[in-house]
């Protein structure tokens, strides 16, 4: 059985870090474009990359929030596919994991 207090602490720290990263990206994206057209082209390319990063971070925020809900409802650490326990090592590496390694690889 997963150590729920440790998992909750890890997940809350991960959530705070992800939200801070997303906020930095949103701040960068809100900056006005340069008047120089060549510089603006570089900025637009950078913005596309930042938007992609933001989408990945938003998905991880959602996964982390769902993991916190599983901690609260007592289902954290149980594979959502087969019902077996997710290994402590996997949860330590990816605390938001919903699948055991066998189901993830299968």
Map out the domains of the chain as residue ranges.
4-76
Of the pLDDT bands very low, low, confident and very high (cuts 50, 70, 90), residue 38 is confident
Question: How many Å apart are CA 89 and CA 78, to the nearest integer?
Answer: 14
pTM listed for this prediction: 0.83
Alpha helical stretches, state H, the chain:
4-30, 37-73, 88-93, 101-105
User: Which one has a higher pLDDT value, 31 or 82?
Assistant: 82
Apex CA 78: angle with CA 5 and CA 88, to 5°?
55
């Amino acid at each position: 059985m997963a150590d729920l207090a440790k998992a909750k602490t890890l997940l809350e720290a991960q959530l705070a870090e992800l939200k801070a990263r997303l906020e930095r990206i949103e701040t960068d994206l809100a900056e006005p474009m340069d008047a120089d057209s060549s510089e603006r082209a570089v900025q637009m390319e950078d913005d596309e990359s930042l938007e992609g990063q933001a989408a990945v971070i938003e998905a991880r925020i959602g996964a982390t929030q769902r993991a916190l809900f599983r901690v609260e409802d007592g289902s954290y650490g149980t594979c959502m596919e087969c019902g077996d326990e997710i290994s402590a090592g996997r949860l330590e590496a990816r605390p938001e994991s919903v699948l055991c390694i066998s189901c993830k690889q299968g």
